[in-house]
Structure 1
Amino acid sequence: NVLKSKIFMPMAHPIPGGGVLLPGMFQEDPEIGLVNGVVVAAKEAFSDTSSYPGAKPRPDVGVSVDRDLISADASLAPGESQDFPLVGIRVTDLPDDSTQAAPAPAASDGQITGTVWLDFVPGGGGVNGQIDPGEAGLPGVRVDVVGPDGVAGSAITEADGTYVVEGLDPGEYRVALPAANFTTGASGVPWLSSTFITAVVILSYVWIWAGFAMVMIASGLSAMDRTLQEAARVDGATEWKVFTRITVPLLAPVLVVVFVTLIINVLKIFDLVYVIPPGNAKPAANVIAVEMWTVSFGGGNNQGLGSALAILLLVMVLPFMWINVRRFKAEREG
């Protein structure tokens, strides 16, 4: 019942169904738009790092930043530690699983350890570059250990900000926090912009008229003589041949009704194109009916051009109306 209401509600109420519900679904803010909420959730689900936009290292602690890449100034050997005291992050933006920052465990052979934390105590106090009570670790930060041949190992920080990179061969390494840790994070797609608005209007139209097409085709299928299909199967016909040679020809009158009706409605579509696109995207989604109304009554004050567009629209619709009239006459005579 829920699925049926989702499908048939827009057909019964096209303006609230397609003009209000769908624009809300496609809002760019993932907190509002359902589609972007799903897109952002999917991106975050497949990402193993957290995003801390605006983070930067505490000055004069042996850590520098270059194009959002934060790295240690000095090279390290396995068995040493490298901490990353960061600032520029709001306490309210910290993940829910963030806990009190802790010193990293002592590194053994083949390991480099350290802590990535927010070097800030709410209310003030503490020593710059040192882990103080009240300072939070930054979980989910990717830490790369880079050698002469590239990334030799990596790790993700724990809830207290600590990390351990293992399996390192003897040598000199640089420890870095990739720029992916500090990007803005997953954001919504501007579906209602001029780039995507045509696709959104098409989707709205398909959704609104899907119920009509389903009802018509289902009624045609229910009235079909099944014995013809069963006889064809008995004679060895494949399901594809049964569909193309029997089902489709028997359903052809219904398919013509659906096709012609949808073509006529596409040509004279007005409501969806008028209510879905925001102001800056309306020119990209413009159609004849909307242009006719705009130039006549929507501020253009050019009834002559509007009348010409109305005649053009009528001429485009007339052939399909003629097809419908002929079909109705043939059914009556038959």
Structure 2
Amino acid sequence: MSKLTHELCLNPKHVGLLSVKDEFVEGLIRQEPITSVYHVEQAPFARGKFAAVRKCTHKQTGVEYAAKFIRKRRRAMDHQQDIMHEVAVLRLAGAYSTLDGARIVRLHEVYETPSEMALVLEMAAGGELQWVLDTGEDEQLSEHLVVKFMRQILEGLCFLHDHDIAHLDLKPQNILLTGRFPDCDIKLCDFGISRVIQPGMEVREILGTPDYVAPEILNYEPISLSTDIWSVGVLAYVLLTGFSPFGGDNKQETFCNISQNNLNFQDDCFDNVSPAALDFIRATLVVNQNGRLTARECLEHAWLQGPQPSPPGTPRKTFPPVVSVVSCLSCSQCSSSAQCHCADKLGSPLLLERSIIC
């Protein structure tokens, strides 16, 4: 991790996590009430089991932000290390804000209370990409627009991978629109389950979202940067068609489809999709991690490098909106969504879907 800023370091106690050096923590985290600086709306506009995102407005400047309030203790366990890891990733991106890190949502300030930490983030005026899919506006996602969004997603991912960080939860809910759709750019958010991947240090954890999770997660195999590339392929498929490539009638069927790579391109979904797009999806949805493209190779793929497949406004078929999945994987023995010890007794932990936002 030679590209870390002077205030960041690898967490010595938790493999895969970044940390803010002790001498910088006091100056980074503000202890006064956030309400003394911001008007904070009571009702959250996004919520998970352990976090809520509220709109807040700076009292002096009038600038709007999104405040992500995260509980420090969950199931009687202290998760402050995980929160500080997310802070560290955001601080790293902020240090490179004029480069590839510009595709990462900006962190403005951090506040702490006895029970929560509040991450004050830039407000994405267009909301989540998932909202576009849920409201049926996906008919406007021409292949031309999908190419634009996929390039920007991969630009953000290249920044993370250049710093040995795997996002591990790429999905439309974690892709933010900077303005009104479709005349907007995108930014990546939610790094709560991201991990640092280093040679010689294996990271095996049960995390991710069922429809987007890679086979190695299901098999409890070591995670790599290529784990994100599987999710990139799923994203491309979803944005082009409005359907999940591996979605089954239940989570077990979905997991089986992923493990066996039961991938098909139905004619009624891909009539207006270019052959280059199909080739891109095939090159990313490869069970063997070593066989997948890297993030930069994805950007260099003919689909994203060549002429735009169709001009803006080209009519295309409409599809039912993708069902928003707000769940992650956890161990059915101990309910952990992080590294656990059940595999020592069972050979591999059992996967269970939990309705939370990681």
**TM-score, scaled to structure 1:** 0.22
Structure number with higher strand proportion: 2
Larger Rg: 1
Structure number with higher helix proportion: 1
